[in-house]
Chain A
Amino acid sequence: MNEMTKITTLKDWETDQEVRWCPGCGDYAILKAVQRTMPELGVRPEDTVFISGIGCSSRFPYYMETYGFHTIHGRAPAVATGAKLANPDLDVWIVTGDGDALSIGGNHTMHLLRRNLNCQIMLFNNEIYGLTKGQYSPTSRVGTNSPSTPYGSVDRPASPCAFALGAGARFIARGIDIHKDLTNVLKAAHKHQGAAFIEIFQNCIVYNKDVFDEFAAKKTAASTQLLLADGEPMLFEKGAKGITLDRDTLSLKVVDVVDGDWQAANVIVHDVTNRAVAYMLIEMPFGEFPMAIGVLYDDPRPTFESAVIAQNEEAAKGKKRDLQALLNKGQTWTVAEPQHDL
Chain B
Amino acid sequence: MATALKQDDSGKNQPENAENVVVRFAGDSGDGMQLTGGQFTLSTALSGSDLATFPDFPAEIRAPQGTLFGVSAFQINFGSRAIETAGDQPDVLIAMNPAALKTNVDALRDGGLIIADAGEFGKRNLDKAKYENNPLDDGSLAKWQLLKLDISALTLEAVKPFGLGNKEALRCKNMWTLGLALWMFEREREPIIDWLKSKFAKLPDIADANIAALNAGHAYGETAELSGDGLGSGHLTTRKVGAAPSAPGEYRTVTGAEALSLGLVAGAQLADLPMFFGGYPITPASAILHHLSRLKEFGVTTFQAEDEIAAIAAAIGASYAGKLGITSSSGPGIALKGEAMGLAIMTELPLVIINSQRGGPSTGLPTKTEQSDLYQAIYGRNGDAPMPVIAARSPGDAFECAIEAVRIAVQYMTPVMLLTDGYIANAAEPWKIPDVSSLEPFPTSFLDTMPEGGLKPYSRDEKLARPWIKPGTPGLMHRIGGIEKGVDTGHIDYGAANHQQMTEIRRDKVLGVANSIPDQEVALGKAGGKLAVVGWGSTFGPIHQAVRRAVEAGKDVAHIHIRNIWPMPKNLGELLKSYDRVIVPEMNTGQLKTVLRDQFLVDAKPVNKVSGQPFTITEIEAAIEENLS
Interface residues of A (CB under 8 A from B): 15, 17, 44-47, 49, 51, 54, 61-62, 65-72, 75, 77-87, 89-90, 107-108, 110-111, 308, 311-313, 315-316, 319-321, 323-324, 326-342
| B325 adjacent to chain A (CB < 8 Å) | yes
Q: How far is the CA of A329 from the CA of B253 in the complex (A)?
A: 10
Q: Inside 8 A of A86's CB, which chain B residues have their CB? A: 274, 276, 301, 317-323
Q: How far is the CA of A86 from the CA of B266 in the complex (A)?
A: 19
| B249 adjacent to chain A (CB < 8 Å) | yes
Distance between A122 CB and nearest chain B CB, rounded to angstroms: 17
Q: How far is the CA of A17 from the CA of B483 in the complex (A)?
A: 15
Q: Which of A66, A81, A316, A334 contacts B249 (CB 8 A)?
A: A334
Q: Inside 8 A of A77's CB, which chain B residues have their CB? A: 310
Q: Which of B437-481 contact A (CB under 8 A)?
A: 437, 470-481
B476 to A46, Cβ gap below 8 A? yes
B322 to A69, Cβ gap below 8 A? no
B471 to A75, Cβ gap below 8 A? no
Known: A72-B343, A328-B250. A61 touches B479 (CB 8 A): yes
> A-B pairs with the 10 shortest C-beta distances?
A82-B317, A70-B481, A82-B314, A78-B313, A68-B479, A86-B321, A67-B471, A79-B317, A78-B310, A316-B297
A46 to B474, Cβ gap below 8 A? yes
| B605 adjacent to chain A (CB < 8 Å) | no
| B303 adjacent to chain A (CB < 8 Å) | yes
Report the interface size for chain B: residues with CB under 8 A from the other chain.
75
| B191 adjacent to chain A (CB < 8 Å) | yes
Least CB separation from A334: chain B residue: B250
B477 to A82, Cβ gap below 8 A? no
Q: Which of A66, A331, A338 contacts B246 (CB 8 A)?
A: A338
B269 to A342, Cβ gap below 8 A? no
A333 to B298, Cβ gap below 8 A? no
Q: Inside 8 A of A45's CB, which chain B residues have their CB? A: 477
A82 to B321, Cβ gap below 8 A? yes
Known: A70-B481, A338-B246. A108 touches B42 (CB 8 A): no
| B309 adjacent to chain A (CB < 8 Å) | yes
Distance between B360 CB and nearest chain A CB, rounded to angstroms: 24
Query: Interface 1/0s, chain B 239-261, versus A by CB < 8 A?
Result: 00001011111111000000000
A sample of 8 inter-chain contacts (CB < 8 A) reads A75-B310, A80-B317, A85-B276, A323-B265, A323-B269, A326-B298, A334-B251, A335-B246
Q: How far is the CA of A80 from the CA of B303 in the complex (A)?
A: 13
Known: A81-B310, A85-B314. A336 touches B298 (CB 8 A): no
A332 to B250, Cβ gap below 8 A? yes
Distance between B580 CB and nearest chain A CB, rounded to angstroms: 28
B318 to A69, Cβ gap below 8 A? no
Q: Which of A44, A308, A328 contacts B301 (CB 8 A)?
A: A308
Q: Inside 8 A of B247's CB, which chain A residues have their CB? A: 335, 338
Q: Inside 8 A of A17's CB, which chain B residues have their CB? A: 479, 491-492
| B306 adjacent to chain A (CB < 8 Å) | yes
Apart from A15-B479, A71-B313, A327-B434, 7 more pairs, CB < 8 Å: A61-B481, A72-B313, A78-B310, A79-B316, A83-B317, A308-B303, A331-B42
A69 to B481, Cβ gap below 8 A? yes
| B307 adjacent to chain A (CB < 8 Å) | yes
A331 to B482, Cβ gap below 8 A? no
B298 to A321, Cβ gap below 8 A? yes
Least CB separation from B268: chain A residue: A323
B301 to A79, Cβ gap below 8 A? no
A82 to B313, Cβ gap below 8 A? yes
A327 to B262, Cβ gap below 8 A? yes
Q: How far is the CA of A67 from the CA of B477 in the complex (A)?
A: 5
B252 to A316, Cβ gap below 8 A? no
Distance between B277 CB and nearest chain A CB, rounded to angstroms: 10
Distance between B385 CB and nearest chain A CB, rounded to angstroms: 13
| B339 adjacent to chain A (CB < 8 Å) | yes
Known: A89-B472, A108-B310, A340-B245. A72 touches B262 (CB 8 A): no
Distance between A111 CB and nearest chain B CB, rounded to angstroms: 4
| B45 adjacent to chain A (CB < 8 Å) | yes
Q: Inside 8 A of B299's CB, which chain A residues have their CB? A: 321
Q: Inside 8 A of B343's CB, which chain A residues have their CB? A: 71-72
Q: Inside 8 A of B321's CB, which chain A residues have their CB? A: 82-84, 86-87, 90
Q: Which of B81, B250, B436, B437 contacts A333 (CB 8 A)?
A: B250
Q: How far is the CA of A7 from the CA of B339 in the complex (A)?
A: 39
Query: Interface 1/0s, chain B 40-79, versus A by CB < 8 A?
Result: 0010011010000000000000000000000000000000
Q: How far is the CA of A75 from the CA of B261 in the complex (A)?
A: 27
Q: Which of A87, A329, A334, A342 contacts B245 (CB 8 A)?
A: A342
B313 to A49, Cβ gap below 8 A? no
Q: How far is the CA of A111 from the CA of B307 in the complex (A)?
A: 10
Q: Inside 8 A of B317's CB, which chain A residues have their CB? A: 51, 69, 78-86
Q: Inside 8 A of A340's CB, which chain B residues have their CB? A: 245
Q: Inside 8 A of B315's CB, which chain A residues have their CB? A: 82
Known: A321-B298, A328-B433. A68 touches B478 (CB 8 A): yes
Q: Inside 8 A of B266's CB, which chain A residues have their CB? A: 323, 327
Q: Inside 8 A of B249's CB, which chain A residues have their CB? A: 334-335
| B295 adjacent to chain A (CB < 8 Å) | yes
Distance between A64 CB and nearest chain B CB, rounded to angstroms: 8
Known: A67-B478, A86-B318, A333-B251. A339 touches B471 (CB 8 A): no
| B82 adjacent to chain A (CB < 8 Å) | yes
Known: A69-B320, A83-B320, A316-B297. A331 touches B306 (CB 8 A): no
Q: How far is the CA of A337 from the CA of B249 in the complex (A)?
A: 8
Q: Inside 8 A of A80's CB, which chain B residues have their CB? A: 317
Q: How far is the CA of A77 from the CA of B310 in the complex (A)?
A: 8
Q: How far is the CA of A318 from the CA of B585 in the complex (A)?
A: 49
B252 to A331, Cβ gap below 8 A? yes
| B422 adjacent to chain A (CB < 8 Å) | no
Query: Interface 1/0s, chain B 162-199, versus A by CB < 8 A?
Result: 00000000000000000000000000000100000000
Q: How far is the CA of A75 from the CA of B191 in the complex (A)?
A: 49
| B202 adjacent to chain A (CB < 8 Å) | no
Known: A315-B297, A334-B249, A335-B248. A79 touches B433 (CB 8 A): no
Could you say which of A79, A321, A329, A336 has the most chain B C-beta atoms within 10 Å of its C-beta? A79
Q: Which of B252, B274, B478 contacts A328 (CB 8 A)?
A: B252
Distance between B339 CB and nearest chain A CB, rounded to angstroms: 6
A323 to B482, Cβ gap below 8 A? no
Least CB separation from A336: chain B residue: B248
Least CB separation from B244: chain A residue: A339
Least CB separation from A75: chain B residue: B313
Q: How far is the CA of A184 from the CA of B316 in the complex (A)?
A: 32
Q: How far is the CA of A27 from the CA of B340 in the complex (A)?
A: 26
A46 to B473, Cβ gap below 8 A? yes
Q: How far is the CA of A338 from the CA of B42 in the complex (A)?
A: 21
Q: Inside 8 A of B265's CB, which chain A residues have their CB? A: 323, 326
Q: Inside 8 A of A333's CB, which chain B residues have their CB? A: 45-46, 48, 250-252
A70 to B480, Cβ gap below 8 A? yes
B325 to A82, Cβ gap below 8 A? yes
